[in-house]
Amino acid sequence: MDDILQLTLLYDFYGELLTQKQKQVYEMYYQDDLSLSEIGEELSVSRQAVQDQFKRTEKILLGYEEKLQLVARFQAQNKAVREMKHIMEEVERKSPDAITVQAIRKMKQIAEDILS
């Protein structure tokens, strides 16, 4: 998976477990698109201090995922629901029974609600 996407997911799941300073550095870098130097200037610290803080934050987020596996479970569940939706679409196309089609449409809507 793309590193930025992975870190964004990790932050979405575990961001509230970080300290205020860790969240601030992460958000300035990824959400505000500031460079490490710009963040250092903003926080009145060296670029190296920002980089160290950022690396520590990444390591913490990866550690949470290693222990809790919430992102991995979320991705697996998303994949499973997409697969279920695909199967329902196939059955819907092949089924002449109106009751079956109605039930499948309802299940597809539930799957869409889960995915969005």
* pLDDT tens digit sequence for 68-107: 999 999 999 899 888 988 888 888 788 778 888 888 888 8
pLDDT at 66: 97
Q: CA geometry: angle at 63 spanning 60 and 66, to 5°?
A: 155
- Per residue in 15-41, pLDDT (tens digit) is 999 999 999 999 999 999 999 999 999
- Fill in the amino acid letter for 45: V
CA distances (Å), origin 39, targets 101, 103, 111: 56, 54, 41
pLDDT at 1: 53
Contact at 8 Å (CB) between 92 and 105? yes
- pLDDT surpasses 80 at 53: yes
pLDDT at 93: 80
Whole-angstrom distance, CA of residue 41 vs CA of residue 50: 10
Tokens of 77: 């569940």
> Which of the pair, 58 or 93, is modelled with greater confidence?
58
